[in-house]
Amino acid sequence: MNRREFSKRMLILGIGAQAGSAKGNQARSRNQFGNFYEEPAKKLPVRKFDVVVAGGGTAGVVAATAAARQGAKTALIEVKGYPGGTATEGGTALHSFYNLWKAFPGAKKRQVVRGIAQEIIDRLLKVGGTSGHAEMSKGYNYDSVCTAIDTEMYKLVTFEMLVESGVFVCVNTLLAGAIMDGSRIRGVIAESRSGREAFYAKSFVDCTAYGDLAAFAGADYKVPNDYACCNSVGIGNVDIDKYHDFMKSKGRIEQIAFGIRSGEPDKIVRVQGPRGQAFSAEANKIGMSSVTTTVHDNYLMFIKCNFKVPGTVLSRDDMAKAELEVRKRMAKAVELFRKYVPGCEKAFMARTSPKLCIRRGRLITCDYDITHEDVIEGRHFDDDVMAYGFHDSAPRYQVKNGGTYGIPYRALRVAGIENLLVAGMMITSDHRAHMSTRNTVSCMGQGQATGTAAALCAAKNCETRELRYGELRKALQQGGVYFES
């Protein structure tokens, strides 16, 4: 029997990859009738870094770029084949680089998130990949600007920025474990088709949205499951102006913004309003949201279909059912556009997200938990790392007087772990406060703060709590970060 025939026979007998090795056979005979399989120990190759960032999404891209720009030898571990995360898969537009000045007569217009987040927009502008910061002409009680992006160009531009900054970018790589030394992380396990490897580093940033690294490290967390999950469809072959005229004829355009579309300025890039009773009744049944944005003439970027997962977003099997349900809803959504909305008669599903987007996975316990009062009262802290002024529940909840609140460094330090920071949707337990801190531009700002802090800690051989705030603030200011005071 040659090797190929042997493998084929083993396959027929249902014996897996370990077949043929003495160790594998022993393990198999020990466990074949039990409910557990004991994995044999393995020696893993080690790579050494100053900073490891887990998750190359909205926050992670910025965190890794910031760390590398501080001179830290930085690795980014991202399970998908591209960076960008939920900003490229779920959001309608990037909220928000500005305070809500338009809703508060007399309030001063301020761009409150700058730094690397703004650099991404500058680069997208050069390649026609954004509407720019398009001021809302209507609906500015919700936001003052709409910054829509071309999701595919975002992936490319951020990938290039990471590489140019010197980040060792590991895409298609799963972060699969943490190697602990007491309450310090010594390294992480990275798993890809190149094999399992250990990545050692001095400081770590968890930007996985799910809080995978924090959980592997033994951090305290909750899984609130307090939001619907969502997939979003990009709908192609639509006539935006005809679509807008139809909405206008219904007499209730609630939001509109004009910006760059297919290279031309002053074009509609955001429209919201009711599309008729029949449409709305059917849209409600599939959890479809009504805001449309675009940066291209014949395309609606993010038509969202929401679904509250029964069970938990951490369960593979609960999510599998939800993935199918939402795919059915997305097909229905396109059908509704074709049926009811002039300009969309020949619309088709041009893109979907590769998987369901969560609004919150694990909520990681940090040294400070931002409250809703902090947000709406516009509180700042003596260790602010950024300012932010957007609330996704506006106009019901807004930051007082169109101002900003601060995100403090302590809100990004994981309780009980010496060298781990988190950025993104994993912070802020209060659902209403989270409706502000979880938004893309906030996550990007948190990314710059945590990446910079992690790099400084690595350079100084200190833990996250030992880093002097003055040094962090100075480095952030040098990196273009805006502080309110």
Residues binding ligand FAD (CB under 6 A): 54-60, 77-80, 85-87, 90-95, 174-175, 207-210, 212, 230, 304, 357-359, 424-425, 438-440, 443
Which pair of tokens denotes residue 90? 């779920």
Q: CA-to-CA distance for 116 and 453, rounded, in angstroms?
A: 15
216-220-225 Cα angle (round to 5): 95
User: What does the alpha-carbon distance between residue 97 and residue 88 come to, in Å, rounded to a whole number?
Assistant: 17
Closest distance between ligand FAD and the C-beta of residue 402, in Å? Answer: 18
Instruction: Give the span between the Cα atoms of 196 and 212, in whole angstroms.
Output: 17
Bridge partners (DSSP) of residue 384 are 408
Query: With respect to ligand FAD, which residue has the nearer C-beta, 56 or 239?
Result: 56
Least distance (Å) from ligand FAD to the CB of residue 95? 3
Instruction: Pick between residue 205 and residue 456 the one whose CB is nearest to ligand FAD.
Output: 205
- Tell the smallest beta-carbon distance from residue 426 to ligand FAD (Å): 7
Nearer to ligand FAD by Cβ, of 87 and 370: the residue is: 87
- Least CB distance to ligand FAD at residue 58 (A): 3
Tell me the two tokens of residue 66. Answer: 């910031």
Query: Residue 151 or 165: which CB sits closer to ligand FAD?
Result: 151
Minimum distance from CB of 30 to ligand FAD (Å)?
A: 30
Of residues 86 and 294, the one with the C-beta less far from ligand FAD: 86
User: Residue 246 or 450: which CB sits closer to ligand FAD?
Assistant: 450
Contact 165, 69 (CB under 8 A): yes
- CB nearer ligand FAD, residue 68 or residue 239: 68
Cis amide leading into 96 (omega within 30):
yes
Least distance to ligand FAD, CB of residue 16, Å: 23
Query: CB–CB of 395/136 below 8 Å?
Result: no
Pick from 465, 477, 480: which is nearest to 183 by CA?
Answer: 465
- Which of residues 246 and 436 has its CB atom nearest to ligand FAD in the complex? 436
Report the nearest approach of ligand FAD to the CB of residue 33 (Å).
Answer: 32
Residue with tokens 């369960």: 315
> Token pair 């602010």 is at which residue?
384
Among the listed residues 182, 186, 235, 253, the one whose alpha carbon sits nearest the alpha carbon of residue 213: 186
Question: What interhelical angle do 115-126 and 151-164 show, nearest 10?
Answer: 120
Residue nearest to ligand FAD (CB): 57
Q: Which positions ≥6 away from 402 have C-beta within 8 Å?
A: 99, 100, 101, 102, 103, 104, 107, 389
Q: How far is the CB of 90 from ligand FAD (least distance, A)?
A: 3
